[in-house]
Amino acid sequence: MSKSQKCRLRNILISAFLFLFALIFPFKKFFPEKTADILSAIIFLGAYLIIGWSVLYKAFRNILNGQIFDENFLMTVATIGAIALGDYKEAVAVMLFYQIGELFQDYAVGKSRESIAAMMDLRPDIANVIRGENIEEVDPEEVEVDEIILVKPGERVPLDGVVIEGESRLDTVALTGESVPQSIGVDDEIYSGSVNQNGLLKIRVTKPFGESTVARILELVENASDKKSRSENFITKFAAVYTPVVVISAVLLAVVPPLFFHGEWSVWINRALIFLVVSCPCALVISIPLSFFGGIGGASRKGILIKGSNYLETLANVKTMVFDKTGTLTNGTFTVTAVHPDLIPEAELLEFAAHAEGFSTHPIAQSIKKAYVKDINIARVTANEELSGEGIISIVDGKQVLAGNGKLMATHMINPHECHLNGTVIHVAIDGLYAGHIVISDTIKPDSADAIRGLKANGIRRTVMLTGDKKAVAQDVASQLSIDECYPELLPQNKVEIVEKLLSECKESDKLAFAGDGINDAPVLTRADVGIAMGAMGSDAAIEAADIVLMNDKPSDIVKAISIARKTLRIVHENIIFAIGIKLLVLILAAFGHATMWMAVFADVGVAFLAILNAMRCLR
């Protein structure tokens, strides 16, 4: 809780205590009637000043700055009007409820996010530059195009370039979101932000740091927040028109009849003050934040964290839903999805492959060993050589076992069989004879298909998938899930470009949401009208950049979130229509002298109470 929130909560508690004390304590039992009334009024005024001082100060400050008609000014005029009528309880209660509503709103929004700080882990601190016979550690911003840099195993690539010497596996999960490392060698293009896993690489720099992939990602996160479309607070917009109209009308009501129509000043001033009490936007300033807070609270109980009421409102108007693939629609962990034997039984093929991969820590090796289930007997493996970018050569039970890609098979003059399935194919050969292949792929989450169907049933007109994965794999997933459009083989900046294009194609009232889980998704999450992060497995950067976090990692929770948002917005609209309708009716009656103070109190406190009861439906 921030310092300002603690201060507001403290003032609410003190003011509420004084308010209840003044209501309950029997002053007239211990003091003369006049003295009792004075003491009661003093306590009520003390409670009013404690809870309302910040509102009075803001109203006065805004007047000095030329911003007269806002909700602070209206609250000030309405409550001071109530005090002028001698209704101290009304003034304190209205201001107390207003501050409670503001506190709810503060809690709903939460602390400001530090997405840029989270992204800074991508930025390398140094670059090892080869200059003459020396290797110098310098800031990546000081490295020039065509200079040669050295990237050791475990280091993050500091600049974009081309490999001129060495082979390795590259962890690109921070850029593309894909779990399986890429094999890289001479003449291959390499991107900054990737992590070199096991080989020593010499790289010729092709772009200065300011234009590199990692710099582009950081820049996108910094600038995308400025382009975020946000719903303005309804109360502020409403008060900009409502407040001056009501205040001017009250002044005219108090002055015009006595001056021009011989009315009694006391009668018309009393009507004007009733007019002001009725005009207090209590029902709106309490019920609207409370409705959103209820919706946010109801969503949180279902594992859906919404970072503010403006995002909830935007979510209700989403018509285009864009997804990242890996970790969002798929599990993001690679498993054996098929075993296709050729000369030997399926179990034996998996057994030989698992033992051949027994010493490897590569994700592909781990998935094969996991599929084998049984314990690996390392004693059966008498030799093992891992070839970067190709696979493994092992001696298992005295037999030579090759397990790798088509390049490894071609090197040993073995013709592998083509596989009709999409995924990473590991070919296996035993003593020079092709034994079959194993298919490893990312699996679709169990509820992804239900999520897409649910979104379309809820009026989502367009579903889109963006991924850094290969075209065939991406199209296969999109086809299985009935996704309308698919864009494969993308880098983060490409994803932002496509989201920009999709946003330009949306109608002004229709919103676009993006769901993703990786660091590479952070720029897109901040650029979309509303960003949704898969929280439990997602990166810290994605969670910080997003407006909504799904803690259960279930795509179907997006359907729940949209349903909650739409129900909440429906209740908000009901409260707005009800509150404004009743107030306009009583305001007209007050202007013609047909409204009593009781009617004014009902139009204020009564309407607010009914609106709050309606808002509490959001909690369910």
Residues classed as catalytic: 324
Q: How far is CA 470 from CA 161, 393, 438, 476, in A?
A: 22, 27, 18, 10
Measure the CA–CA gap between 561 and 577, rounded to whole angstroms: 24
Which among 477, 470, 450 has a CA at the least distance from the CA of 337? 477
Cβ(334)–Cβ(441) under 8 Å? yes
Rounded CA-CA distance 451/455 in Å is 6
240: left (phi over 0), alpha (psi -120 to 50) or beta: alpha
Cα 68 to Cα 64: distance, rounded to the nearest angstrom = 8
Rounded-to-5 percentages of helix, strand, coil across the chain? 55, 20, 25
Q: Residue 307's closest CA among 620, 3, 322, 299?
A: 299
**Counts of helices then strands in the chain (DSSP H, E):** 23, 22
User: 359 by DSSP, 3-state: which?
Assistant: coil
DSSP 243-277: HHHHHHHHHHHHHHHHHHS---HHHHHHHHHHHHH
Residue 526 Cα distances to 116, 522, 544, angstroms? 11, 6, 10
Could you tell me which residues come within 8 angstroms of residue 230 by beta carbon, excluding any fewer than 6 positions away? 310, 314
CB half-sphere exposure, 535, CA atoms < 13 A: 19
At 170, the amino acid letter reads L
Tokens of 546: 């997003």
The CA angle 522-523-527, to the nearest 5 degrees, is 115
Q: Output the 3-class SS for 385-452.
A: EEECCCEEEEEECCEEEEEECHHHHHHCCCCCCCCCCCCEEEEEEECCEEEEEEEEEEEECCCHHHHH
In sequence order, the β-bridge partners of residue 171 are 195
Residue 145 phi, psi dihedral angles, 5° rounding: -60, 140
**What is each CA distance from 141 to 130, 153, 158, 211, 223, in whole angstroms?**
15, 22, 9, 10, 20
Question: Are 243 and 62 within 8 A, CB to CB?
Answer: no
Task: Enter the DSSP assignment of 132.
Answer: T
The one-letter amino acid at 359: F
Residue 84, CA distances (Å) to 40, 79, 91, 247, 256 in order: 15, 9, 10, 15, 20
Query: How far from the centroid of its chain's Cα atoms is residue 112's Cα?
Result: 12
**What is the C-alpha to C-alpha distance for residues 595 and 585, in angstroms, rounded to an integer?**
10
Question: Which helix or strand (DSSP H or E) is residue 234 part of?
Answer: helix 234-260
- Give the pair of three-digit tokens for residue 505: 């194609």
